[in-house]
Each structure stands twice: as C-alpha cells, then as structure tokens.
Chains A and B, each alone.
Chain A
Amino acid sequence: NAGVTQTPKFRVLKTGQSMTLLCAQDMNHEYMYWYRQDPGMGLRLIHYSVGEGTTAKGEVPDGYNVSRLKKQNFLLGLESAAPSQTSVYFCASKGDSRGYNEQFFGPGTRLTVL
C-alpha cells in the first residue's frame, strides 16, 4: 500500500493564479481531510469529507474549494491564489472497516504564492 499520496510536492504560484492539489489514498478510508501548517500556528483544518460525494468546511475554509468525486481522491482547489496561502498543505485520511480512529497523513505539498 502506498498509503496517502499528494501531488505535486512543491509549487510556486503568482498571485491570482489557480491550482489544484490532489490527494489519493489506497486504504479504502471513508474520511479525508485537508490541513495547512504554518509556523507558530500548528495544523489547521481547511475542509474535510466524511464520504464520497460529501464535503464540509473546517476551521479556515476561505479561499479554498474541495471535491470528493471518488472515494480514494480528495482535491483541494485555489481559485485565485494569495500570498497568505503560502503554506505547507497536508492531506489525511481515516476510517476503514476495522474502525481505527487515527488519521494517516500524506507527505505534504509546499506551496509558495508570490
């Protein structure tokens, strides 16, 4: 199993550009999450999904959109990037048939918005 994978690993955008971050998991997990991690602020939840076709807002959703069209994929979109969105983005998933409660994280995407 590859676990949770994220693409791309690094990206530099100019203000106003758009992009999509892809998260994929091969553990048949129901729940998926997008976080951002900034120095001194810890991990903050952006959006999450409790199953295929569902999405919900987290703590810091403004400026981001998400989609979960397939159970194994969770996409995070930035429609018009701003310098404040410079951060490291992590995807996580949890919840298989064994009932384990912990979230498993991907390796992260480092995004710089100029």
Chain B
Amino acid sequence: EDQVTQSPEALRLQEGESSSLNCSYTVSGLRGLFWYRQDPGKGPEFLFTLYSAGEEKEKERLKATLTKKESFLHITAPKPEDSATYLCAVQGGTSGSRLTFGEGTQLTVNP
C-alpha cells in the first residue's frame, strides 16, 4: 500500500524567509511524485511531476527535489501570494493510474 506523509502540517514564514516542505513516501515502484498547490475553496493546481531520484524542477520561487524516500519543495524568498496548502501525491507501480495523497502542508507567508 502506497503511503505519503507530509511535514510540517502548518508553516508560518515571514516574506523573504526561505524554507522547505517535506514529503516522505513509501511506494512499490515509483511511477511519479506530484506536487499540487491548493488555495482555500478551490481545487488543487498542478505544480510539478518528478519521476526519478536526483530529479529537480523549478517554477518561479519553487523548486522540487526527489530522493528514493522523500521529496522537498523548497520555497525561496516567499511572498504572501505563495500562501496556500501544498499537496504531495505518489503514483506507485501497483496502483495503475491512481494517486495517493498526503494531508498537505498549510503555508502562510506574512508580509
């Protein structure tokens, strides 16, 4: 059974204060690790897909990295508009097209 654990549950940062969110996973044959952003009252918005250990992807102030056991979402010099819940999900080799999601990290960036 695929499992995803995200930490911390909530994170408060000052504008410009860089930090990282963690996604630890257990999966049989990783076929993809996904990061999503979710704003209050809206559906998750796709950010990144990572497929193999060592892979990195960047988008504006966000960078996602992947090891064999965990993924990090690094946020560099965040702005208040980066405040959201960030979700991590995995697609395992035995789960077909299905994703297993973590509970998310709620990020608040204060001006």
Contact = CB atoms under 8 A, between A and B. Distances in A.
Interface stretch (A13-21, A37-45, A61-69, A71-79): A37-45
Contact of B34 (A44, A45, A102, A106): A102
Interface residues of B, number: 22
Nearest to A43: B101
B104 interface: yes
Interface of A: 4, 31, 33, 40-45, 48, 50, 58, 90, 92, 94-95, 101-108
B34 to A, nearest CB: 6
Interface stretch (B10-18, B37-45, B61-69, B74-82): B37-45
A90 B104 contact: no
B42 A101 contact: no
Contacts of B44: 43, 90, 105
Given A42-B101, A43-B87, A45-B98, A106 B46 contact: no
